A and B are shown apart, each in its own frame.
Chain A
Amino acid sequence: MTLSLRDLAVARGGVPVLSGVSFDVAPGTALILRGPNGAGKTTLLRTIAGLQAPLSGQITGAEDTIAYAGHADGLKAMLNVAENLTFWAEVFGRKDISEAIETYQLEPLRDRLAGTLSAGQKRRLGLARLMVTGRPIWVLDEPTVSLDAEAVGMFARAVTRHLAGGGLALIATHIDLGIAAQTFDITPFRAMPDDRSGASDEAFL
């Protein structure tokens, strides 16, 4: 299962932000996306995850294979850690949450309500959710926000193990994760201002 993008153009709020993006991510490898704030990393990842349609171009290998983690973790404050994880496992048709709990050392927090966790602990729970989905492609948007160095290490180990198991990962981040991966800078693909789709002003000139 290779994730391929061909000449992809994406828009945010109707304004094109990226165009001509092409890359492949093979099984067992990770790709780190880099680019300054506002470059379109989140928009690109949301498009790949299927949350919005591309302006043009093709994405292959993304059908029902993606586990997406955005800025929000999708946790319910009034459910405890185990209930939150079990819910997401069941949505993806699975049951076992013990590996995710162990990897992110959530055992001591297992019965705490998610609303009472610290920001970093919530983030760990949100990342643990990826492991219970069983999906081969992880699409992660700034996964290490509010994590301490130790938790970043847990995350790096989780990604490494995921890759060793034949999975692949696409990660937008600003920091060095300590994962062996290629880097892809999206800055050169910034869409030209006159590159907007459906702009037919020329026809009237």
Chain B
Amino acid sequence: MIALLRRDLMLAFRAGGGFGLGLAFFLIVTILVPFSVGPQSDLLGTIAPGVLWLGALLACLLSLDRLLALDFEDGTLDLLATAPLPLEAALSVKALSHWLTTGLPLVLAAPVLGVMLNLAPSGFVWLVSSLAVGTPALSVIGTFGAALTVGIKRGGLLMSLLVLPLYVPTLIFGAEVARRGAQGLDPVTSLLLLGGITCATIALMPFASAAVLRMTLR
């Protein structure tokens, strides 16, 4: 498992690995929002939690295409399926490496971008914690979507359509935590629900992903 994680991270950081793709997209979206909405700082502050969460979600979605497709094309998935490592474990590792290369940089970049969107000072802690708790669910659900569409040429559109509804609960509660935090309300309940969603997806989704992948490999 560690070998797979190390290889995936090594590939992500080498040229053409796609590290930074999600981060760059996130930066572009949040930098462009003040231009399109206008410079009213109170309005920007109101929409900042939602915009940041939406940007993070779309950035995650953008990088899902490559998550399994590259391994499928060069035959690695076939060989992994015959390896002693259970497919469930292999896909969990894939999701983890996706989070480390996409989700984690988003979490770390969010406070800087919060400043650009005039996020209320009390909101920063909750924005970062909601992204830290919520983005793992995005990676795990995304792995399921990638497994479902891995054999399909140009499956990106189909995958987005399949994955987006599954992303909605995480988006609702994640943005809610950030919004309540920014307004000075108590965000703990939403954060707990968000954590519950993440825990449930991490526990269950790898089994669904592996079952689906076994079918698509046929």
Contact = CB atoms under 8 A, between A and B. Distances in A.
Contacts, number: 69
B80 A72 contact: no
A113 to B, nearest CB: 9
A78 B14 contact: yes
A193 interface: no
B78 A68 contact: yes
A131 B11 CA distance: 24
A63 B218 CA distance: 18
B213 to A, nearest CB: 11
B75 A72 contact: yes
A38 B93 CA distance: 36
A51 B218 contact: yes
Interface stretch (A17-25, A85-93, A101-109, A149-157): A85-93
Contacts of A165: none
Interface residues of A, number: 30
Contacts of A52: 217-218
Contacts of A90: 2-3
B83 A72 contact: no
Interface string B190-218: 00000000000000000000000000011
Nearest to A115: B16
B78 A72 contact: yes
Interface residues of B, number: 24
B75 A71 contact: yes
A79 B71 CA distance: 13
Contact of A66 (B3, B11, B16, B82): B82
A51 B217 contact: yes
A67 interface: yes
Given A76-B11, A79-B7, A92 B83 contact: yes
Contacts of B217: 51-52
Contacts of A44: none
Interface string A140-184: 000000000000000000000000000000000000000000000
22 contacts: A46-B78, A51-B81, A51-B82, A66-B82, A67-B82, A68-B78, A70-B78, A70-B79, A71-B75, A73-B75, A74-B75, A74-B78, A76-B7, A78-B11, A79-B11, A86-B3, A88-B79, A90-B2, A91-B3, A91-B80, A129-B79, A133-B83
